Amino acid sequence: MSDAYLALEDGRVVEARGRVPGYTRGELVFTTAYTGYEESLTDPSYEEQVLTFSYPLIGNYGVRDERFESDRVHPRAAIAREFTDDVATWLDDESVPAIDHIDTRELVTAIREEGAMKCGIAVGDDVTPEDAKEQLAKCKGMSEHVDIGAQVSTAEPVTYRAGGDAHVALIDCGAKGSIVDSLLERDADVTVLPYDATPEDVAELSPDLLFISNGPGDPANFTQAQSLVEEFVGEVPLAGICLGQQVVARALGGTTEKMDFGHRGVNQPVRDVESGKVVMTTQNHGYTVGEPGDLSVSQINVNDGTAEGLENEDLDVITRQYHPEAHPGPNDSLDFFDDVLAMTGATEQTTVVSSD
């Protein structure tokens, strides 16, 4: 164990117990999920952020790599009321600073009242509050990373064969592995393309569906993915999840905006506008669609009215702000993948219920 300090943008410096040494900085956010810490920590959408868990004990069922959503931990640091030794060891192996023995309730309240804020963290045997303040000062002087996609995307195209009738071109802006799995489970072949793929790269595949994935940061930074939507809309069916919804909306005349503290957790209620049905969803995003442009709002968040689903039947476009693949989280909205693949004309798509 070692000393640790967390310096916040609001001027406070909080003392904690160090579990993994290091110095770092980033945007402080929180998740309300009480299970699924492995999935959350390996979610590329947390790239460059400092993740606070509101649930007090993180690690009570160990660490298993088959639950990972990518090949590494993405937050720059992790904070909890208490980390088990299993999780602390894992984060140490990943060289991700971690602190606990901190009042996470107070942190979450501060973020909810003041919004996501920048922070600096210093962990080590001889660290001081000034070390954490120095990290915060560096963070405050940094502009948002406009090429963040390069840190989370595949470098080269990768194809996964399921032997089905549909071929999906998935633009990897930081895709969770469960999105690929959900498509493969429905017998769709999937080619994962880099976030900066060109129209020629996509055209060469002749895909039945263009799918824009989730990812970190501001959707305005994913200009190449937006240009792909503009190029192929009306010619190839389009789908998007999370950041993917935002990118699609921007390409079709919509707007996006940064939220105060975002939606991060596994219990966000979403209402379908047409049926009135409410489902519970998993979410992880700090931006949202403001004006939908050429799309219509098909689903809304019950808590704050933000757009959770967009569509345009004439253009064959369906998007979701939340994560229908829901790892971790409820399986209420898995039929999204059936609806998406139905646009391709593939035969007899069957809903698959996850065992996780």
Q: Among this protein's residues, is 139 annotated catalytic? A: no
Q: What's the token pair of residue 224?
A: 């190449």
The reply, when asked if residue 164 is annotated as ligand binding, is no
Q: Is residue 263 annotated as part of the catalytic site, yes or no?
A: no
- 5 annotated ligand binder: no
Rounded-to-integer distance, Cα 138 and Cα 152, Å: 23
DSSP helix/strand/coil, 65? helix
| 173 tagged catalytic | no
Helix spans in 162-310 (H): 177-184, 199-205, 223-232, 243-251
Is 45 labeled as ligand-binding?
Answer: yes
**Which residue is catalytic, options 27, 39, 69, 325?**
325
Neighbours of 34 (CB within 10 A): 17
Is 243 a known ligand-binding residue?
A: yes
Sequence-distant (6+) residues with CB within 8 A of 307 are 245, 249, 288, 289, 292, 297, 299, 300, 301, 321
Catalytic residue among 167, 285, 323, 327: 323
The catalytic position among 48, 242, 311, 327 is: 242
Q: How far is CA 41 from CA 36, 159, 304, 351, 355, in A?
A: 9, 25, 26, 28, 21
Q: Is 318 helix (H, G, I), strand (E, B) or coil?
A: strand
> Is 299 among the annotated ligand-binding positions?
no
Can you state the angle between helices 243-251 and 223-232, rounded to 10 degrees?
60
Annotated binding site: 45, 215, 217, 243, 246, 284, 286-287
Residues designated as active site? 242, 323, 325
Binding residues for L-glutamine: 45, 215, 217, 243, 246, 284, 286-287
